[in-house]
Amino acid sequence: MKKIPLLILTLILIASCNTKQTSSELKELTEKLTEKDNRISELQTQIESLEKENKKFENTQTSDYYRFVQTSDSEINVAEKLKSGERKLIDKKDFKDTLDISDNFFVYKHTSEITQTAESEFESVLRDFDQVKSEYGDDFFVRVMTFYNGQSLPLETENSKTDIHILIQPTELGYENKTFVISDFYDVDIKSLEKNENSVELTFEHGKFPRKRELIIIKPELVKFGNK
């Protein structure tokens, strides 16, 4: 009979030890979770702060460069972005142009519109276009244009190469236009396009050290390098 109270006392002691151990482990886990929660909260605060700074920076860049910020003294009619294929009419004006003052006295009435386009078939032409000159010969018209041809030279400075395009357009009906390309030069500068007797002469410079000057003789039946 004496063994029973001893057994009960032993069980009580074991249970007490287990309870103390469990309570200690629970407290330790709670402290770790609290520490992790605090760390997560700190990280979230840092992320929100960085996002605000980044947004403020983006807005500043946009307003400084594109200037699409409406103010009391600003006038904006250009869309900052258009959807693919979208066109937007941004201004228009009516005109009356007198084109003939003879017996016909023709007045051309028309409305000119300024339209913003998302995509233009001339975008690449406008981007690469550099110079243009025009001149009339005896019975033909010459237009000379220079374009960057997309090729480059192994230089650290401006290194785009240039092609010279020539259009010869007869002033009389029944004759076809003719087009030519002169390739490829560095740093082209058209100096002159002038009529000379029965031809039109194109003079341009190119190169760097030293600059060189070239002559092109242009006729409907002849286009060649001349001697300068």
Q: Could you report the per-residue pLDDT of 26-65, keeping only the tens digit for each?
A: 777 777 778 877 888 888 888 888 887 776 655 544 444 4
Residue 88 CB contacts under 8 Å (≥ 6 apart), including other chains: 79, 82, 115, 116
Residue 194: per-residue pLDDT = 94
CB-side neighbour CA atoms (13 Å) of 124: 3
Residue 62: per-residue pLDDT = 46
Residue 201: per-residue pLDDT = 94
What rounded mean pLDDT belongs to the chain?
77
> d(Cα 165, Cα 179) in Å, to the nearest integer?
7
Mean pLDDT throughout 81-96?
82
Residue 59 vs residue 132, higher pLDDT: 132
Checking if the pLDDT of 1 tops 80, the result is no
> d(Cα 146, Cα 164) in Å, to the nearest integer?
5
Secondary structure of the chain: what % helix, strand, coil (to 5)? 30, 40, 30
Q: Identify whether the C-beta of residue 72 lies closer than 8 Å to the C-beta of residue 53.
A: no
> d(Cα 204, Cα 185) in Å, to the nearest integer?
10
- Residue 196's closest CA among 138, 148, 124, 139? 138
Neighbours of 64 (CB within 10 A): 9
Residue 19: per-residue pLDDT = 57
Q: What does the longest C-alpha to C-alpha distance in the chain come to?
A: 144
Residue 136: per-residue pLDDT = 92
Residue 63: per-residue pLDDT = 43
Strand partners, 204: 190, 214
The pLDDT confidence band at residue 2, using thresholds 50, 70 and 90, is very low
Overall pTM > 0.85? no
- Residue 148's closest CA among 119, 185, 198, 201? 185
> d(Cα 149, Cα 184) in Å, to the nearest integer?
8
Residue 183: per-residue pLDDT = 82
